[in-house]
């Protein structure tokens, strides 16, 4: 993609990592409703909350006049992402998720983690120049 092809980032909704995390949340949300009934409000609820909190933290910190607050939002998003990966691992170990689905979700969350790290580095670099 050339520099001219890049879309201007005007909102957190324009961030590819935000979009991917939202898509993952919807997918994980639907997946949790296939868990055994007794897990709907245990592991299922934890997964739904943490998978939604990752993109929500990006949105919450967006465009704050204090860059450190936005960096904290990104840091919290990374924490929620790690928590979601943990819950997915437990669901996999309990046999609620098939191996191929688990690996796919894990790989996509790891990609989002790398994207968040890159966003964090960009903001730190930009901050040091201002």
Which domain CATH number covers 20?
A: 1.20.1440.60
Q: Give CA–CA dist 35/91, Å, rounded.
A: 8
The pLDDT of residue 4 is 46
Distances (CA, A) of 48 to 8, 52, 94, 114, 127: 31, 6, 17, 21, 33
85 within domain boundaries: yes
110 within domain boundaries: yes
Number of domains observed in the structure of the chain: 1
Phi, psi values for residue 42, rounded to 5°? -115, -100
103 within domain boundaries: yes
Is residue 51 over pLDDT 50? yes
Domain span at residue 107? 14-129
Query: Which tens digit of pLDDT belongs to each residue from 84-114?
Result: 999 999 999 999 999 999 999 999 999 999 9
114 within domain boundaries: yes
4 within domain boundaries: no
Q: Give CA–CA dist 111/130, Å, rounded.
A: 29
84 within domain boundaries: yes
Q: Is 127 helix (H, G, I), strand (E, B) or coil?
A: helix
107 within domain boundaries: yes
């Amino acid at each position: 993609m050339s520099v001219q092809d890049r879309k201007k980032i005007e909102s957190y909704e324009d961030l590819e990592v935000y979009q991917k995390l939202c898509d993952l949340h919807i997918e994980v949300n639907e997946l949790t409703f296939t868990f055994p009934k007794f897990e709907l409000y245990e592991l299922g609820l934890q997964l739904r909350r943490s998978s939604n909190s990752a993109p929500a933290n990006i949105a919450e910190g967006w465009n704050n006049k204090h860059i450190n607050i936005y960096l904290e939002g990104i840091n919290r998003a990374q924490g929620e992402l790690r928590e979601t990966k943990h819950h997915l691992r437990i669901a996999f170990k309990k046999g609620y998720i098939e191996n191929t689905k688990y690996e796919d979700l894990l790989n996509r969350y790891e990609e989002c983690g790398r994207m968040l790290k890159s966003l964090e580095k960009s903001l730190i670099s930009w901050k040091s120049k201002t």
